[in-house]
Structure 1
Amino acid sequence: MGALKRGKRSGWWIAGVKDPETIAEHSWRTAVGGSVLAMMEGADPAKVALLCTFHDTQETRVGDIPWIGRRYIDVARNEDVTADQVADAHPAVAAGIKAIVDEYENSDSLAEWQRTCLR
């Protein structure tokens, strides 16, 4: 996770931003913003913060590949990168992180989030 503070978000370079935020800064802002939105919409802010915190952790291994770049290269699935990252972790930690990444990647929370937002 510490490596994310050195990696810049590459999509901003494409957009012409000379000094883009780091991946860590992006993840922090996503977690805070997501938590606030969750509070406003009656969702679980802690769960949203956790999803946001781990949503880009795979970039410690594969870098920040802009969405357009993913069309032209084969990239490991984020779930597979996460499994590799937590392979030597405590089993409870590995299971917890894999579950939250799987939920994010598979949009398992999206239906609930949409129902909450559309109320």
Structure 2
Amino acid sequence: MADETANAQGTAGFLFEMGVLKNAKRTGWWFTGNNNPESIAEHSFRVGIVGAVLAMMEGVDPAKVALMCLFHDTQETRIGDIPHIGRRYIEAATNETVTADQVSAAHPAVKAGVQRVVGEYESGDTPEAIVAKDADKL
């Protein structure tokens, strides 16, 4: 029973942390003069829609692509939204490392599932991961 309670609390903590994404703004837009950029959650939602549509057009699994798109920036609750140009100047933990920490106390199925989705996205080795990354760029 203690493990179930700990897993439930860890999973709830992860879900609570993901709620932060709706308040965290995408910082790269500030460089363009946009003083009210979209939140990371808004960005992830749109990337999910774009990714699912692209997947349908490409003949790959749209649900898998949408899931990868949904989770592709969840690490930003801990490391922030580092603009692409800024990444060359800092050494940050990998997204897989951040994700592993985020779900470390979650239910084992949640932990394994989230890590699998993020790992596949980051590896970019599958057709779905390629489509998800394309959706993020669009």
TM-score by length of 2: 0.78
Within the candidate set 44, 47, 59, 1:27 is matched to: 44
CA distance in 2, matches of 1:23, 1:15: 17
* Native 8 Å contact 2:60 2:127 kept in 1: no
Name structure 1 gaps, 5 residues minimum.
115-119
The letter of the residue matching 2:26 is: R
Q: Distance in 2 between matches of 1:20 and 1:110?
A: 30
CA RMSD of aligned residues (A): 1.6
| Aligned structure 1 segments of 4 or more residues deviating by more than 3 angstroms | 110-114
CA contact (8 A) 1:6 1:22 kept: yes
Going from structure 1 to structure 2, the CA distance change for 1:53 and 1:83 (only over 3 Å counts) comes to same
Q: Percent identity?
A: 64
Q: Give the count of matched residue pairs.
A: 114
The whole-number CA distance in structure 1 between the counterparts of 2:61 and 2:127 is 13
Asked whether the equivalents of residues 43 and 113 of structure 1 are also in contact (C-alpha less than 8 Å), the reply is: no
Flag the structure with more relative contact order, 1 or 2, with Cα contacts below 8 A and sequence separation at least 6.
Answer: 2
Greater helix share, structure number: 2
- 2:71 paired residue among 49, 54, 70: 54
The amino acid across from 2:49 in the alignment is V
Q: Deviations over 1:59-112 (max 9, x none)?
A: 011000011111111111100000000000011110110011011111122488
